[in-house]
Amino acid sequence: MSTAAAKRARPKYLHLSAILFEIRLPVPGFVSILHRVSGALLFFPLTAWLLYLLDTSLASEQGFARVHDYLRMPIVKLGLIVFVWAYAHHFCAGIRFLLLDLNKGIELAPARRSAGAVLVVSLLLTAYFAWRIW
């Protein structure tokens, strides 16, 4: 390292403004952490919830009717929308990771574009689903 660079004043700590506005996770980073978040949500509680719904709806005619009514409640629809987002995001991001593993689109620009596409496509799918059930 040159002495000029060594002597240049450096920030000793990060300003709040830097943390809030200047240092940002790149788009692929968002896709990655949301892949984790959606995966964790799917593991628990979403799988347990859907298994319960499958169990009840298959058990008997009355159970089916109960699930049918239950799924019409706004708060339950909200839960379904969360599930669809988590599934769609995990699905799309997963396909992207599989392609990256096969060395497809690993340059910076296409990787950023595909990350943006994952976010947008999964949100659009979720919006379409929300529109259909409401």
Partner 1 sequence: MVTPRRIVVGAHYGLGSWLAQRITAVIMALYSLILLVGFMTGRPNGYGDWKELFQHGWMRVATLLFAVSLAWHAWVGVRDIVMDYVKRDGLRLGLQVVTILVLAGYLGWTVQVLWR
For residue 106, state whether it binds partner 1 (rule: CB under 8 A): no
Q: How far is the CB of 67 from partner 1 (least distance, A)?
A: 10
And the tokens for 94? 């997963």
At position 30, the amino acid (one-letter code) is F
Q: How far is the CB of 63 from partner 1 (least distance, A)?
A: 9
Rg, the chain, Cα only? 22
Q: Select from 4-12, 16-24, 86-94, 114-122 the region that touches partner 1 (CB under 8 A).
A: 86-94
How crowded is the C-beta side of 85, counted as CA atoms within 13 Å?
Answer: 17
Please identify which residue in 18, 19, 73, 95 interacts with partner 1, judged by CB under 8 A. Answer: 95
Contact pattern from residue 18 through residue 57 relative to partner 1, giving x for each residue in contact according to CB under 8 A and a dash for the rest: ------------------x--xx-xxx--xx--x--xx-x
Alpha carbon of residue 99 to chain centroid: 18
CA dihedral in degrees (44, 133, 89, 55; nearest 10)? 30
Which among 39, 134, 26, 18 is positioned nearest to 93, based on CA atoms? 39
For residue 98, state whether it binds partner 1 (rule: CB under 8 A): yes
Which among 100, 78, 105, 84 is positioned nearest to 42, based on CA atoms? 84
Please identify which residue in 79, 94, 105, 116 interacts with partner 1, judged by CB under 8 A. Answer: 94
- Chain residues binding partner 1 by CB under 8 A are 36, 39-40, 42-44, 47-48, 51, 54-55, 57-59, 61, 64-65, 87, 91, 94-95, 98, 101
